[in-house]
Amino acid sequence: MFSPRFQLLRSAASMMTRSLSTGAALKQGKVLDMSRGNPPLHVSNVRNRLREIVGASTNWSDHQQALAERVSLSTLLVNSQNDLPAKSMRDSYVDVYLPLGSEPQLREKYLNFHNTVRFGRILEDLDSLAVLISYSHTYNPALKKSPLSIVTALVDKIDMRQHVIYPDCDIKFTGHVTWVGKSSIEAKMHMSQFHGGSYAPVLDATFVMVARDPENKRAAFVNPLTPDGPEEERLFQEGEANKSRRVELSTASLLKVAPTDEERKIVHSLFLNTLDTKTVSFRSRILPPNSVWMEDAKLKGLEICHPQERNIFNRIFGGFLMRKAYELGWANACSYGGCRPSLVAVDDILFQKPVEIGSLLLLSSQVCYTQGSYIQVRVHSEVFDPLTRQHNTTNVFHYTFISDCEVPNIIPKTYGESMLYLDGKRHFNQTVG
């Protein structure tokens, strides 16, 4: 039997549906439809549910005390994944509602000056939803608080299915766990919007989460996942393939190995195209027509990380970091292309280190690859310690935008810029090619 607290969460959040409809799959988002018509969780309550699960508080002083008390939960962790019961995909199903149409007071938070929805806010909601999905998978009704600290490790990919998100139409998020390792969880999410009498797909997202101990210092085991039926087995195998792809890409990183023969030829061709034919000197470079030097296609920003932006573990909320990086990247693409760009995809956002409250967060965006009307933007974030003068990388973000018109070619000048160019080309090819 489930505890009363769990029954409350289940009825309010529609998180733990117990039946799976035959052959159910949302073809648009590859997320299984596991609902039975239960009312979805209101988006404003997602983070409240997360606070309940880990025992956090909205009050600053109480929040710090609650986190200190979580240390004692380490005794509840298991020594082996085999000690945890297997879960199904329907155990983690979450249905969340963003009523922009029926609750106009919400629109101010999500509205931008183009009269569409701020995508940075959607990134925040997706990040919170992925955490809730992961906790739904690891839920133990015998425990009052979860001993796990589940955080975002990677945004594997977000694919846009339409460019316009209407500010006055209701939005629905659905998602569930699709793959599990020993301490890692892949969550797939689908976002749709009610327009023209029905819900239409807007985006598909894949996040990778990691579970750690109550102090967020070491890895912790999560429940294994048992696929039920051919559709769930297909999703699970996709998760295995995604993991292998990520390992392969990491191994072939330009920070570790030299470019391929084809990539070296591309760099050399770019160099030859910028030589001054009058002097024919290695030191004399001329910008080709309809081109921009890479060094002239940057935008930078600074954020002071206040407690208001903290997550349930007293670090800066990953969704906030994604929103700020996206908005800077979008502004750079807008400035570069000379008109408003549309997002095509978010690819391979890596969370390397947590950002502490009080940090000085430096954001640097760079247009690193262009093709036709496409603009590939890389945003690098780092924490600066004014006392030690040290910089530590926390995140790297990759965004693919498309402009209404053809944009200038981006041209690297140095070897380092050439590597950024090739890395941008790789990410572009994964997204569009």
Q: Tens digits of per-residue pLDDT, 52-76?
A: 888 876 666 666 676 677 888 899 9
Residue 51 and residue 34: Cα distance in Å, rounded? 25
Q: Please report the pLDDT score of residue 12 as a whole number.
A: 37
Q: Please report the pLDDT score of residue 64 as a whole number.
A: 66
If pLDDT is split at 50, 70 and 90, which confidence band does 27 have?
A: very low
The answer to whether 35 touches 21, Cβ cutoff 8 Å, is no
Spatial CA neighbour of 202 closest among 233, 171, 239:
171
SS3 content of the chain, % helix, strand, coil (to 5): 35, 30, 35
Residue type, 81: Q
Q: Which domains does the chain have, with CATH numbers?
A: 4-250 (3.10.129.10), 257-431 (3.10.129.10)
Tokens of 424: 């941008």
Look at residue 113 and tell me whether its pLDDT is greater than 80: yes
If pLDDT is split at 50, 70 and 90, which confidence band does 263 have?
A: very high
Q: Please report the pLDDT score of residue 365 as a whole number.
A: 97
- Return the residue matching tokens 């880990």: 54
Q: Residue 253 class from Cβ within 10 Å (0-12 exposed, 13-18 middle, 19+ buried)?
A: exposed
- Strands 94-98 and 360-371, how do they pair? unpaired
If pLDDT is split at 50, 70 and 90, which confidence band does 6 have?
A: very low
